[in-house]
Amino acid sequence: MAVCTFLGHETMYEEDLPGRIQRAVDAVIEKYETVDFWFWRPGPFYAQCHMAVMRAKQRCPDKRITVSVVMDRAACQAFMAQTEPAYAQMPRGMVDRVIAAPEFTAAQGGTHALTIGKKINRWVMRKAACVIAYLYEALHAPEQGLYGAAQRAGARMVDVTAPETAAFFEQCIERLDGTEKQIFEGYRQRRTLGQIGAALGVSGTRIQQMTRTVCVQWMQAALARRRSMSETGGMGAPACSVFGMGEATYWSMAALEQAARYLVRQFGVQVFYVPAQECSCGYLYVLRAVTQWHDGVQIVAVTQGQADPAQTARCCPPCSRVERAGCKGRETADARRWMIQRSAFCICQTASDAGDETMRGDWERGDAPILIDISPAAWYERQIALEKMDE
């Protein structure tokens, strides 16, 4: 089994980066028979990578693809102790397993949280057969050291940066003058912070501070450049549709809560669409409990026809508002399709969804949203597949 992980800036500087990530993930899956994608850091870049892997799993059901989250041993033990039952230990359809990193002792570099984090970072890089990287050298991000560690460990590096953005940062360097110019010329000559500082009569720490100040200005300029080039005004927050959930049992409601919390926290989901006729079921209580702790996250009821005051009163609360699907035909199927077209994710229990066959074509599209099946049957199927992969 090949391990593939990701390394990149917290900020994304191009609108088309998700497409480049998707192509890189698809290429990795094409190259390796079995791939385990490791996620171990938060941030927009890593969220896009996670979404790309889930899309690939959906499009390639015959491929042996898994998603793992790496935690330090203490965090992993705490996580496992708080979850029940077994099939709710991680968000169904999004994460297959949790991996506990080695326990680093004082003799191996101390137990301070920062030291342990660095050790885990390098451990992940050593384990990876492939690293999909989004790092611009001109920005001198701390992750650059991990990039070098992965290269030395023999990992295959897949670069998803944009040549145009790299050229933009190079132009920023060319426009520097004075001390700042000398600092970045020193970097180009592969000199250390201490060597650059000695030449300029300041400490290496001061060089690091000046570098950070300049790079922050460049990052802000790059973000302004992305906004000016965007035709849509920027990448909007993703939405999620929830339908076909079946009977509201304790376990299905717990699974929905876990999935919804993960979507809001990890991917920044801001809207949950639900069919208006399902607004009275117990699942809405779960969504309401999730959204009330996050500012700006809304539940939107979707109706086929014009919402009348009585229907709005039935749906709000728990919903924030009612929207009309504005399509003709069978109410349930068409309202769902309207929701699907506006969503990056869809949560359902396919075994409970009587209309599943009518919706199958929507999941086969290349731009289909990510289907998160939280049914116990789907979970057991994935567990059996995992056991076979581990044999």
Ranges 9-13, 72-76, 156-160: which has the least confidence: 72-76
Q: Are residues 209 and 263 in the same domain?
A: no
Sheet of 34-39, strand order? 97-100, 64-71, 34-39, 2-8, 130-134, 156-159
> Mean pLDDT, to the nearest integer, of 137-143?
86
Q: What is the pLDDT of residues 264-276, one digit of tens each?
A: 988 889 999 998 8
> Mean pLDDT, to the nearest integer, of 144-167?
92
Task: Please check the confidence at residue 355 and state whether its pLDDT lies above 50.
Answer: no
Return the pLDDT at 276: 84
Cα separation, 132 vs 358, in Å, equals 37
Q: What is the mean pLDDT of the chain?
A: 81
Return the pLDDT at 77: 67
Return the pLDDT at 106: 45
Ranges 29-43, 154-168, 224-238, 302-316: which has the least confidence: 224-238
> Which pair of structure tokens corresponds to residue 383?
């567990």
Return the pLDDT at 358: 46
- Does pTM surpass 0.85? no
Q: What is the pLDDT of residues 317-336, one digit of tens each?
A: 888 888 888 655 444 457 78
Task: Please check the confidence at residue 234 and state whether its pLDDT lies above 70.
Answer: no
**Domain's final residue, options 182, 198, 229:** 229
Cα separation, 212 vs 40, in Å, equals 24
Cα separation, 334 vs 327, in Å, equals 6
Q: Are residues 194 and 218 in the same domain?
A: yes
- 57-65 LR contacts (CB < 8 Å, sep 24+): 58/363, 58/368, 58/370, 58/371, 59/366, 60/29, 63/29, 63/35, 64/1, 64/33, 64/34, 64/35, 64/385, 64/389, 65/29, 65/34, 65/35, 65/37
Q: What is the pLDDT of residues 73-129, one digit of tens each?
A: 776 666 666 554 444 456 767 888 888 888 765 454 445 656 677 888 889 999 999
Return the pLDDT at 385: 61
288 burial via Cβ count (<10 Å: 0-12, 13-18, 19+): middle
Return the pLDDT at 178: 87
CATH number at residue 173: 1.10.10
| Contact in structure between 167 and 161 (CB atoms under 8 Å) | no
Q: What is the pLDDT of residues 202-213, one digit of tens each?
A: 898 898 889 889
> Which pair of structure tokens corresponds to residue 193?
């912070």
Owning domain of residue 325: 239-383
Task: Please check the confidence at residue 63 and state whether its pLDDT lies above 60.
Answer: yes
Task: Please say whether the dihedral angle defined by the alpha carbons of residues 43, 45, 49 and 55, taken in this order, is positive or negative.
Answer: positive
| Choice between 127 and 361, residue whose per-residue pLDDT is larger | 127
Please state the domain count of the chain. 3
Q: Are residues 48 and 76 in the same domain?
A: yes
> CB within 8 A of 388, min separation 6: which ones?
none
367 pLDDT band (50/70/90 cuts)? low
Cα separation, 240 vs 271, in Å, equals 6
Task: Please check the confidence at residue 379 and state whether its pLDDT lies above 80.
Answer: no
Ranges 90-99, 241-250, 355-364: which has the least confidence: 355-364
> Mean pLDDT, to the nearest integer, of 20-42?
92
**Domain's final residue, options 125, 144, 161:** 161
> Which pair of structure tokens corresponds to residue 59?
């499009």
Q: Are residues 130 and 207 in the same domain?
A: no
Q: Are residues 154 and 6 in the same domain?
A: yes
User: What does DSSP say about strands 64-71 and 271-275: parallel, antiparallel, or unpaired?
Assistant: unpaired
**Domain's final residue, options 161, 191, 220:** 161
User: What percent of the chain lies above the pLDDT cut of 70?
Assistant: 80
Q: Are residues 41 and 106 in the same domain?
A: yes
